[in-house]
């Protein structure tokens, strides 16, 4: 699925998945600004982000599998290297695939435990997320929440209810400022005009925190906040 996207958003980096949720042996689906993405890793473990559409017959790449570090389409088995180029066509094993047969690849990188994607040429570096970038702090990924509201609306509603959050990168990243010991971080992924994912992280100063307790506390806290937002915006 593809939709019209404001040109200013094409070069903007957005988080689409926790790095740990993109394993080396499978293709994972993500959605950014209405565009379906196929996320996968090559032999070196480098993450790839492609349009979720095989150039042959339009089959979703997420129905395929990884073979020897290449993505194999689930329909006719055409294989693609991480460069995006087709390397093999099983129906014609002796044929060298034309160089014009390529997957549509997007800019992708990993930073702060997240996979970040830009649908166009990035106009700047991935935004700095201080509490997650600080090597003296311990970062804990809690959970990703799907909310049937726009990213802009959810971010606005959070800031209305939580004055202890600092907004950066156009309100797409919210960082809790309520003391240095433990900070929660909200990373916004715009899926469509009416749907988003909020990736919840916690950063703390303790070298070995009780991760299970931290996750429980902040997941329940955000669940209540999400419920308030959904009830408020539905009224």
pLDDT in tens, 168-206: 988 899 999 866 789 999 999 999 999 999 999 999 987
List the domain boundaries for the chain.
Answer: 7-118, 130-234
Do 130-234 and 7-118 have the same topology in CATH? Answer: no
Could you tell me the pTM of the whole model? 0.91
Angle, CA of 224, 188 and 156, to the nearest 5°: 65
Q: What is the C-alpha to C-alpha distance for residues 222 and 230, in angstroms, rounded to an integer?
A: 12
* pLDDT in single tens digits along all 235 residues of the chain: 344 445 457 889 999 999 999 999 999 999 999 999 999 999 999 999 999 999 988 899 999 999 999 999 988 989 999 999 999 898 898 888 888 999 999 999 999 999 999 999 998 999 999 999 998 899 999 999 999 999 999 999 999 998 889 999 888 999 998 667 899 999 999 999 999 999 999 999 877 788 999 999 999 999 999 999 888 766 5
Give burial (CB, 10 Å; 0-12/13-18/19+) of 37: buried
**pLDDT score, position 235:** 59
Please give the CATH topology (third level) of the domain spanning 7-118: Rieske Iron-sulfur Protein (2.102.10)
CATH number of 130-234: 3.30.530.20
Please report the beta strands in 4-128, taking only residues with DSSP state E, as ranges in sequence order: 14-18, 28-32, 35-41, 47-51, 65-67, 70-72, 79-80, 86-88, 107-111, 114-118
């Amino acid at each position: 699925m593809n939709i019209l996207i404001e040109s200013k958003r094409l070069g903007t980096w957005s988080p689409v998945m926790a790095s740990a949720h993109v394993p080396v042996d499978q293709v994972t689906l993500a959605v950014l600004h209405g565009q379906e993405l196929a996320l996968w890793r090559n032999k070196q473990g480098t993450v790839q982000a492609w349009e979720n559409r095989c150039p042959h017959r339009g089959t979703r790449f997420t129905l395929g599998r990884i073979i020897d570090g290449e993505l194999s389409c689930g329909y006719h088995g055409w294989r693609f290297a991480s460069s995006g180029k087709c390397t093999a066509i099983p129906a014609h094993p002796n044929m060298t695939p034309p160089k014009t047969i390529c997957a549509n690849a997007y800019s992708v990188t990993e930073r702060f435990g997240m996979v970040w994607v830009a649908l166009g040429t990035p106009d700047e570096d991935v935004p700095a997320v201080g509490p997650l970038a600080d090597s003296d702090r311990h970062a804990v990924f809690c959970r990703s929440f799907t909310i049937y509201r726009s990213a802009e609306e959810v971010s606005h509603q959070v800031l209305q209810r939580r004055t202890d959050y600092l907004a950066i990168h156009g309100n797409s990243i919210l960082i809790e400022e309520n003391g240095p010991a433990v900070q929660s971080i909200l990373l916004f992924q715009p899926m469509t005009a009416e749907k988003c994912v909020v990736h919840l992280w916690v950063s703390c100063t303790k070298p070995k925190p009780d991760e299970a307790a931290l996750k429980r506390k902040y997941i329940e806290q955000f669940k209540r906040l999400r419920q308030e937002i959904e009830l408020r915006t539905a009224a």
